[in-house]
């Protein structure tokens, strides 16, 4: 009953606040203007992230049974949301944005959210911190770039959170499960406005909020005592944005389009996974549904290996890698020409 009420609050607050926030976005010029590589033809409010964040906070503050479990995640989410909102209002240089994201990640690490798979010691601790920063910053930006088709980033985030919640429920991690479902409900409240005729975009405040928070939940959750299981479950559930980041980076480096992290963040080409699916002939909604199905398939694999068996985890990772390798090969062979 508590879960249903909390989810209802998050959904309704997010959904019902959108008309007011749309008017506010027009008033303060928080808009994404057409031009350049952008495909939309009219100025579009960039305020979806605000509705999601407010819906999440309202539901958590009034319904979280153990706020101490949630506080580190919500703290990091708040900081990454503020950074994204500032960038939506007035674009921040990629170098500054990247440094801020790293500092926010380090702040989250000091609150106890980090990968714990190496032996204790200076080298082990250092590796854990580096990998955790890469995980948090990488997924925050992965979802930012995944936000290229209507409903893609928001819908993918909902699916990811749903599968995380199933495993959290199966392992009796109820406060974290409640948080995941509440966050999914807040995103769901925004989703109809991202698909309607009078569209509202997530903005960087929304896309990085989803990615960073998903990464944080995966760090906070207990997925198994075996290291390969602990790694496999979040990697499988978040397989699509991870694949997009890896595949896009390899292609950009091989084609000489970027030479470093900052150039990667500044590059605005239409060469991400979803763009390439459209280039291959998918309608935009078809590409979104295709990615939804892959995300669901990977989520099912994550549930299957939630029995703490290392062999199953290894086989599932190999299977996912083979699927993505096939997709990558089809994209490379099937493209008429490299995206510009």
Q: Rounded to 5, what percent of the chain is helix, strand, coil?
A: 75, 0, 25
| Torsions phi, psi for 85 (to 5 deg) | -65, -40
Domain-wise residue ranges, the chain: 2-334
3 state DSSP class of 44: strand
CB 6 within 8 A of CB 181: yes
Output Rg (C-alpha) for the chain, integer angstroms: 19
Rounded Cα distance between 229 and 210, Å, is 23
Looking at residue 38, its pLDDT comes to 58
Full pLDDT tens readout for the chain, 340 residues: 667 889 999 999 999 999 999 999 999 989 888 755 556 567 889 999 999 999 999 998 887 657 777 899 999 999 999 999 999 998 899 899 999 999 999 999 999 898 887 777 778 888 999 999 999 999 999 999 899 899 999 999 999 999 999 999 999 999 999 999 999 999 999 999 998 777 899 999 999 999 999 999 999 988 877 778 888 999 999 999 999 999 988 888 887 777 777 776 667 677 788 988 998 889 999 999 999 999 999 999 999 887 677 888 899 999 999 999 999 998 888 765 544 4
- Cα 218 to Cα 85, 184, 232, 254, 308, distances in angstroms: 24, 14, 11, 31, 16
Burial of 274 (0-12, 13-18, 19+ CB in 10 A): buried
Chain center to CA of 5: 25
Please identify which residue in the block is written with the tokens 């595949």.
247
Rounded Cα distance between 11 and 138, Å, is 27
Of the candidates 242, 252, 232, 258, the residue with the CA atom closest to the CA atom of residue 317: 232
């Amino acid at each position: 009953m508590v879960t249903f009420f909390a989810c209802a609050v998050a959904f309704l607050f997010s959904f019902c606040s959108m008309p007011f926030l749309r008017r506010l976005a027009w008033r303060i010029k928080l808009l994404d203007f057409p031009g350049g590589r952008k495909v939309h033809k009219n100025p579009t409010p960039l305020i979806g992230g605000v509705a999601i964040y407010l819906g999440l906070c309202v539901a958590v503050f009034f319904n979280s049974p153990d706020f101490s479990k949630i506080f580190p995640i919500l703290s990091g989410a708040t900081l990454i949301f503020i950074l994204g909102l500032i960038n939506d209002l007035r674009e921040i240089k990629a170098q500054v944005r990247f440094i801020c994201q790293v500092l926010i990640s380090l702040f989250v690490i000091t609150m106890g959210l980090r990968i714990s798979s190496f032996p204790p010691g200076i080298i082990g601790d250092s590796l854990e911190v580096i990998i955790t920063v890469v995980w948090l910053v990488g997924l925050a930006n992965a979802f930012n770039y995944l936000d290229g088709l209507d409903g893609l980033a928001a819908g993918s985030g909902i699916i990811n959170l749903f599968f995380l919640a199933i495993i959290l429920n199966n392992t009796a991690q109820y406060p974290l499960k409640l948080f995941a479902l509440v966050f999914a409900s807040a995103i769901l409240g925004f989703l109809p406005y991202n698909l309607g005729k009078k569209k509202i975009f997530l903005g960087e405040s929304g896309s990085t909020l989803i990615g960073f928070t998903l990464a944080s939940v995966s760090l906070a959750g207990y997925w198994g005592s075996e290291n390969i299981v602990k790694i496999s479950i979040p990697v499988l559930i978040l397989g699509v944005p991870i694949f997009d980041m890896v595949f896009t980076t390899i292609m950009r480096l091989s084609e000489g389009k970027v030479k470093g992290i900052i150039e990667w963040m500044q590059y605005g080409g239409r060469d991400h996974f979803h763009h390439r699916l459209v280039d291959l002939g998918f309608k935009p909604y078809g590409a979104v549904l295709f990615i939804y199905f892959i995300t669901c398939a990977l989520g099912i694999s994550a549930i299957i290996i939630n029995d703490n068996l290392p062999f199953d985890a290894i086989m599932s990772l190999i299977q996912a890698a083979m699927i993505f390798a096939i997709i990558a090969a089809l994209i490379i062979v099937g493209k008429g020409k490299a995206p510009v």
